[in-house]
Structure 1
Amino acid sequence: MSHKGYTLLELMIAMVVGLILVTGIAASYTSIKETVTTSQRLAASQEIIRYTNRVLMRSIKQTQSIPTVSATDIRIDQLAGVPACDGSVPSTDYTERYFLQGEYLVCDRGSGDVNLLKGVTGLAFTINGQLITVTIQGNRFPLQYGAGIQMNFYAGLGS
């Protein structure tokens, strides 16, 4: 007597092996997806920090006076002929003001607001002598940076 087909036990073993494989694939997918999401958040965070650092460093380094700092904005007096935050090179002295508006890092040099960077959710400034501390938060920062990232700038008065 010849038997054709599979027994119930063989089918159940095949189903269990298949279920284990599908569970492993789903766990791998979830892990990879979390890694990609975290990498994207870190990249967005790095871009916000890099750009903010570059813009504020340029303004603070080229000023000849100590910036005026409040909790929510910073005002930096600039001399004529130095590049402004909007890319222009004014022919008269001017003041740049950096602040948060909505989710934008904004600069105003007296000729209207210029949105510099989107994705900023928190921006705070403090000053201690010539040391300026900027705390920045972003909408895509990883959870471990919930309190924000602090950047310190030394107002070297044109250094």
Structure 2
Amino acid sequence: MKSHRHQRGFSLIELMISMVLGLVIVLGTASFYSTLRGTILEANRLERAQESLRTVAQIMGRSLHQGETVTVTTPQSLTVTYGSIQSGDRVLSCLGRSRVNGESDTFTFENNNVLCNDGGVGGAQVIATNIASLSMSTNGSYGVNILLTPMELPSALSGGITLRFALRQKYIKDHIQS
């Protein structure tokens, strides 16, 4: 009698096909991970650049909107002087201290940092870091332009971002209260 043997296990061809399929899956996963990692790093860089922009816009913007006079002594130094503060008004400096008429905030750019000095104890303090360049200028009688370039800004925005602020208190004093 003839005995039939039943094959057990996988043939060499089946093993080779499964190894190739496994290799394709591993390579696809590695490629996806590499792309994902690059995307996460870029998102983190953009987040840091956005945080620098947001901080400068909020803190300097608040001072500029509430200040009465602005003096740009150099492209890297700007002083905001408060006036027209009425009884009951709550006006805060760049460092969060209450202001009275005649006090001022001075913003400067040094060593890739934006600093603020409100004349209080402790002197100038860093309000934004990782700034590649900053230039401040007046825009007519009632505006200030700030050209800001965070260090990790995408190359498409390598020229920086211009923030424009209106000197609201000065405008109100000159046009509405007169």
Q: 1:57 to 1:66 in 2, by over 3 A?
A: same
Are 2:82 and 2:99, in contact at CA under 8 Å, matched by a contact in 1? no
Aligned partner of 1:93: which letter?
Answer: G
Deviations 1:112-131 (A, max 9, x none): 11111223232111223133
1:58 corresponding residue in structure 2: 62
Alignment partner of 1:84 out of 87, 93, 99: 93
Are 2:147 and 2:162, in contact at CA under 8 Å, matched by a contact in 1? yes
1:155 corresponding residue in structure 2: 167
Deviations 1:10-39 (A, max 9, x none): 222111111110111112212222222232
* Alignment map for 1:49-128 (pairs within 5 Å): 49-79=53-83, 82-91=91-100, 93-111=102-120, 112-128=123-139
- Segments of 5+ residues of structure 1 without an aligned counterpart are none
The structural deviation recorded for 1:80 is: 8.5
SS at structure 1 position matched to 2:69:
coil
TM-score (norm 2): 0.75
1:142 corresponding residue in structure 2: 154
- Segments of 5+ residues of structure 2 without an aligned counterpart are 86-90, 173-178
* Alignment map for 1:2-81 (pairs within 5 Å): 2-79=6-83
* Aligned-pair Cα RMSD in Å: 2.4
Q: Answer with 1 or 2: which has the greater Rg.
A: 2
Structure 1 stretches of 4+ moved >4 Å: none
SS at structure 1 position matched to 2:159:
coil
The answer on 1:132 being equivalent to 2:144 is yes
SS at structure 1 position matched to 2:93:
coil
Cα distance in structure 1, aligned partners of 2:38 and 2:83: 48
Are 2:135 and 2:148, in contact at CA under 8 Å, matched by a contact in 1? yes
Are 1:136 and 1:148, in contact at CA under 8 Å, matched by a contact in 2? yes
Deviations 1:57-82 (A, max 9, x none): 11111122243252212121223964
Instruction: Determine what percentage of the aligned residue pairs are the same residue.
Output: 23
2:176 corresponding residue in structure 1: none
Aligned partner of 1:94: which letter?
Answer: E
* Matched residues, number: 159
SS at structure 2 position matched to 1:67:
strand
Are 1:80 and 1:93, in contact at CA under 8 Å, matched by a contact in 2? no
